[in-house]
């Protein structure tokens, strides 16, 4: 099987991007109009994973002026409701709007690695994104007293995160930090609509003239 490679998207990747959206997300996929806006607003922030000459995965990035971990944004707020209108050129925080792949293709690690390279080359402070906690609703049905913050920090006897997807984030993506739980992050019943904020800092970042809140708490 051919290895995956990642490259910047081109306008000619529009249909492939749209197809992957429908395969990955079904009725939750970005609309054709939203995808067109993403391509228009920040084409350089869209990366595609290829196997051979077939596009099998995509990641969509925007830059934000700041992201205060004490007052975290929801996915809708950070992504402009999926339209990427939140993009601020030269913003110090790079936010993952979307990470998608065709069924059975594990493109996430190579796309996140490419996004980290994007952050470094752009001179941004960090890559940040929100993930799911799909074990939360089931666990809470048996432990109704537990908060989302308490659940996020639960560990197995071997010291690994209890939630299987948080465990995957922490172990598959080198350098990732599990920052905090975010209530009302996005529509996801299995996570009780909560997200987990993740970040990979750019170790080479040197603060410029950015908002104080960003320099203190950016993700």
Per-residue pLDDT reduced to its tens digit, 74-88: 999 999 999 999 999
Per-residue pLDDT reduced to its tens digit, 20-43: 999 999 999 999 999 999 999 999
Nearest-angstrom CA–CA distance, 62 and 80: 10
Nearest-angstrom CA–CA distance, 162 and 104: 24
pLDDT of residue 106: 87
Taking the model in full, what pTM does it have?
A: 0.89
Average pLDDT over residues 85-114: 93
Contact criterion met (CB below 8 Å) for 135 and 162: yes
pLDDT of residue 77: 96
Spatial CB neighbours of 149, under 8 Å, sequence gap ≥ 6 = 180, 181
DSSP classification of residue 206: -
What is the residue-wise DSSP string for 37-66? HHHHHHGGGEEEEEETTEEEEEEEEEEES-
Sorted by where each starts, the structural domains of the chain and their CATH numbers stand as 4-212 (3.40.630.30)
Per-residue pLDDT reduced to its tens digit, 136-171: 999 999 999 999 999 999 999 999 999 999 999 999
């Amino acid at each position: 099987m051919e290895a995956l490679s990642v490259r910047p998207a081109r306008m000619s990747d529009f249909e492939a991007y749209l197809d992957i959206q429908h395969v990955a997300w079904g009725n939750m996929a970005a609309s054709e109009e939203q995808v067109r806006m993403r391509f228009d607003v920040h084409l350089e922030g869209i990366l595609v994973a290829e196997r051979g000459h077939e596009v099998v995965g995509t990641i969509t990035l925007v830059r934000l002026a700041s992201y205060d971990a004490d007052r975290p944004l929801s996915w809708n707020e950070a992504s402009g409701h999926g339209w990427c209108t939140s993009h601020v050129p030269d913003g110090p925080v790079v936010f993952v709007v979307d990470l998608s792949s065709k069924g059975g293709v594990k493109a996430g690690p190579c796309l996140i690695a490419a996004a980290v390279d994007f952050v470094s080359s752009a001179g941004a402070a960090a890559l940040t994104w929100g993930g799911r906690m799909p074990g939360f609703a089931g666990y809470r049905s048996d432990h109704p007293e537990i908060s989302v913050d308490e659940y996020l920090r639960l560990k197995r006897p071997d010291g690994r995160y209890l939630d299987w997807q948080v465990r995957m984030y922490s172990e598959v993506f080198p350098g990732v930090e599990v920052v905090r739980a975010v209530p009302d992050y996005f529509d996801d019943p299995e996570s009780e609509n909560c997200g987990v904020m993740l970040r990979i800092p750019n170790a080479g970042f040197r603060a410029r003239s950015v908002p104080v809140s960003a320099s203190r708490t950016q993700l």
